[in-house]
Amino acid sequence: MQDKITDVKTQVVQEVQPHIKSGILNGETAVRIGSKLAIRYRTEPGLSPTISIYSPKNTLLVAGRPMVEIGETGIYEYSVTFLVAWGKGAFTIVCSEPVKGTVDAFVLKVSDTDIEDVSSSVSAVLGSTSGITNLKTVTETLSTQFGDMDKAIAQISKNITGKVEEVKGAATELAGVFKQLEEMSKTIKEIGGTSGISMEKLYDVSKDKQNDIEYIKNKSEELKAAMELNQKLIENVAKKPVVQSWFEFK
């Protein structure tokens, strides 16, 4: 009996080989329609994994196309262009390898809005103004980023006007942009220059409106006005009356 156990142990040791964890390496969760994305899949070197892509309605768009190994790394790649004809929504991407029997999949959201760019632009505002004490530098940076945000929000409004389902789908992302607007309000308020003047209406960001695109557009205009007013008050050496105006969307 002991000899049989020893034989089994020896056989197991000889047959067990180092195992490479297989899986899709992409960290993206969303792309814009018409864009190109390289899908990467890791498994063992020298194999022939394939990729398949399904539409939001489970229609097979890419069927078992071979992936190309990068050198001898065991990482395989296939570039996908998300065609306009494919539409928008949640696409399922499946990578598999038959020899080792490995498979992995993930869901990628395809959209025609620039909402992700809005969040990135607003985040850039907060990061670029951190630690800056020079008022001119702060306001110049904020002005540039406000301009980028205006363009992106305008594009979002154009894309989702009259499309109720797309408005609902953007709710989560708009909430993220709204949160950044709250932080921007704090940044502009901390610039100073409005001592003794009631500016709470401009600084206030209503949580009830976090999914309202028109409100976000208007709040962006109000915060820009507050920033410019702060600058005028601080630079008002002669202590002359200061007037600030802005337009709002209806």
Helix, strand, coil percent content, the chain, rounded in steps of 5: 45, 20, 35
Q: Confidence class of residue 158 from pLDDT cuts 50, 70 and 90?
A: low
Q: How far apart are CA 144 and CA 129, in angstroms?
A: 12
Q: How far apart are CA 126 and CA 93, in angstroms?
A: 35
Q: What is the pLDDT of residues 99-150, one digit of tens each?
A: 988 899 999 988 875 444 545 544 444 444 444 445 556 666 666 666 666 6
Q: At residue 45, does pLDDT exceed 80?
A: yes
Q: Where are the domains of the chain?
A: 2-111, 115-235
The answer, yes or no, to whether residue 166 has pLDDT greater than 80, is: no
Q: What is the pLDDT of residue 224?
A: 75
Residue % of the chain over a pLDDT of 90 = 23
pLDDT in tens, 220-229: 777 777 777 7
Indicate the helix (H) or strand (E) that contains 105.
Answer: strand 102-111
Q: What is the mean pLDDT of residues 1-20?
A: 50
Average pLDDT over residues 162-175: 54
pLDDT category, 200, cuts 50, 70, 90?
low
Residue 94 is predicted with a pLDDT of 94
**pLDDT on residue 240:** 47
**Looking at residues 166-184, what average pLDDT do you find?**
63
- Averaged pLDDT of the chain: 71
Measure the CA angle with vertex 156, ends 113 and 245; round to 5°: 150
20 pLDDT more than 80: no
Specify the higher pLDDT residue, 138 or 18: 138
Report residue 50's pLDDT band, with 50, 70 and 90 as the boundaries. Answer: very high
CATH 2.60.40.1930 fits 2-111, yes or no: yes
Band of pLDDT at residue 233, cut at 50, 70 and 90: low
